[in-house]
Amino acid sequence: MTTQFSSRRRALGSLGALGATAALAPLTARAQAFPNKSIKVLVPYSPGGGADVNCRLITQTMGTALNQTFVIDNRTGASGMIAGQATVQAAPDGYTMLYDTFPFAVNAAVRKMSYSPLKDLVPVSQALNMPNFLLVPASAPYKTIKEFIAYAQANPGKLSFASYGAGGTAHLAGELLRNEAKIDWLHVPYKGGAPAITDLIAGQVSAFFGNPISGLPFVTSGKLRALAVTSAKRMEALPEVPTMMESGFKDFEVVEWNGFFLPAATPKAIVNKLSAAVHTAVQNPEVRKQMISKGIEPVGNSPEEFAKFVQGQVARWGALVKSNNITLE
């Protein structure tokens, strides 16, 4: 009786194992066949903007690597949450991706969200880092970041800094400098980077943490002065400009990162396949050349590395939002 029971149990176990294998077979086959149709990428920002241009550059090369077409769908509004919600609700089959940026890590701290960025989306790969640099008018009396800080400390409340809206990198970089340098200055939000730079050139605001796509042409033309960059290392496009870290602010690293996400239930094999395609794309010599000439650092890391980075960003900026009592204006 015992022998019969044992044999029956082994037989049932074998059937269970076969059933589990059979259940996994469609997922494995799907991952191996992926992609067999075009892939849609939701971009939360307007056509022609930095994120849109970067996404199109990268996905064009990804398409060559995967022998498929990537279709860009600009879903603007709500600081990326409209595109994020659409991605969360999409089928987790790899055919709908999200290409998001820095606000992804800040939204939960300053906005009421209908989904959890960390739970409902899975990181695929960080495509790039884009540092900010502290810009001032060319006519400003301070030539270095140390002179700027000394002036700000000697004239509390006299200086102002522009941003393209509450919660963005330009705003939070200014708030971080407020804390690190112990300065009192006024935040002036604009509806975009272009009007902020226009007023900065005219001297209507004192400073602006701009990105290289919008600010670099004005630095090279002499209309603006770059005092420091916010990346961990100097920008190849402006090698003479020191980093904030070199200037005495050891933890001052602020980057407008861009990266790809998928719905959380997407099979791991598909996530890995798309991550490898991102890596291949940003390491392409022509893509790298275009990025570096604009002050952008190609990344292309693994899903695990990107997930760790995003978690760190969410924790860091959430803490700053809370400590400085930052609200949407």
Write out the E strands in the chain: 39-43, 70-74, 96-101, 121-129, 133-137, 160-163, 186-189, 207-210, 224-229, 258-263, 297-298
Q: Where are the domains of the chain?
A: 38-130+257-323, 133-229
CATH of span 38-130+257-323: 3.40.190.150
Say what the pLDDT of residue 151 is: 97
pLDDT band at 23 (very low <50, low <70, confident <90, very high): very low
Note the pLDDT tens digit of each residue in 131-140. Answer: 999 999 999 9
Average pLDDT of 23-33? 59
Out of 64-68, 78-82, 148-152, pick the least confident.
Answer: 78-82
% of the chain residues with pLDDT over 70: 90
What is d(CA 121, CA 87) in angstroms, rounded to the nearest whole number?
8
- The mean predicted confidence, pLDDT, of the chain is 90
Q: Which residue has the tokens 């992804």?
A: 104
Average pLDDT of 155-179? 93
Q: Please determine, for residue 27, whether its predicted confidence score (pLDDT) is greater than 60.
A: no
Q: Is the pLDDT higher at 90 or at 212?
A: 90
pLDDT band at 28 (very low <50, low <70, confident <90, very high): low
Intrachain domains 38-130+257-323 and 133-229 with the same fold: yes
Average pLDDT of 257-281? 98
Note the pLDDT tens digit of each residue in 40-74. Answer: 999 998 888 889 999 999 999 999 999 999 999 99
Average pLDDT of 64-92? 95
Out of 15-19, 51-55, 126-130, 174-178, pick the least confident.
Answer: 15-19
Find all residues with CB under 8 Å of 159, minimum gap 6, and list them: 151, 152, 183, 185, 186, 206, 207
Note the pLDDT tens digit of each residue in 278-301. Answer: 999 999 999 999 999 888 999 999
Note the pLDDT tens digit of each residue in 216-249. Answer: 999 999 999 999 999 999 998 899 999 999 999 9
Q: Please determine, for residue 5, whether its predicted confidence score (pLDDT) is greater than 50.
A: no
Which CATH architecture best describes the domain 133-229? 3-Layer(aba) Sandwich (3.40)
Say what the pLDDT of residue 15 is: 54
The rounded radius of gyration (Å) of the Cα atoms in the chain is: 24
